[in-house]
Structure 1
Amino acid sequence: LDSSAALPTAIMCAEADWRRCHRRMIADALVAAGARVIHLLATGDEEHVLPPYARVEEGRPIYDGGQATLD
């Protein structure tokens, strides 16, 4: 994350759609840590936002859909 602040950084894989691969979770983690993530698509650029079932806690994405804990 530190090096990406100074230079543009890209993550690529064989899956065309970022929503159907590990890049979704990587993008969520980067956004939760305060980074700006832009998906480069054939149809244009798309800024990443966390899905509605995720929240950020201590700079990390939590996927509990807002469900209460059993504490």
Structure 2
Amino acid sequence: MQVLYQDYLVPLGRMLFVEKEGGIKREQLVVEATGPCEVLEKEDCFMIRNADCCKNILVTVKVREEGGGS
């Protein structure tokens, strides 16, 4: 798996924007976070929003290979 962001701090009420490079699909994204987050999709990017009501979260974003491997 390719790591796009490792332990990226997303402040309260903010978003992390992940560009759709190389035709990345929603199903390929693996998002690990230290709190609740929402993954939203736009035409040119994915938005990972901090959904925690009280604190910053750390987010790691990985891309799974299209072949279905790990």
Higher RCO (C-alpha under 8 Å, 6+ residues apart) = 2
Same fold judged by TM-score > 0.5?
A: no
Which structure dedicates a bigger proportion of its chain to strand? 2
TM-score (norm 1): 0.33
Q: Which has the larger radius of gyration?
A: 1
TM-score (norm 2): 0.33
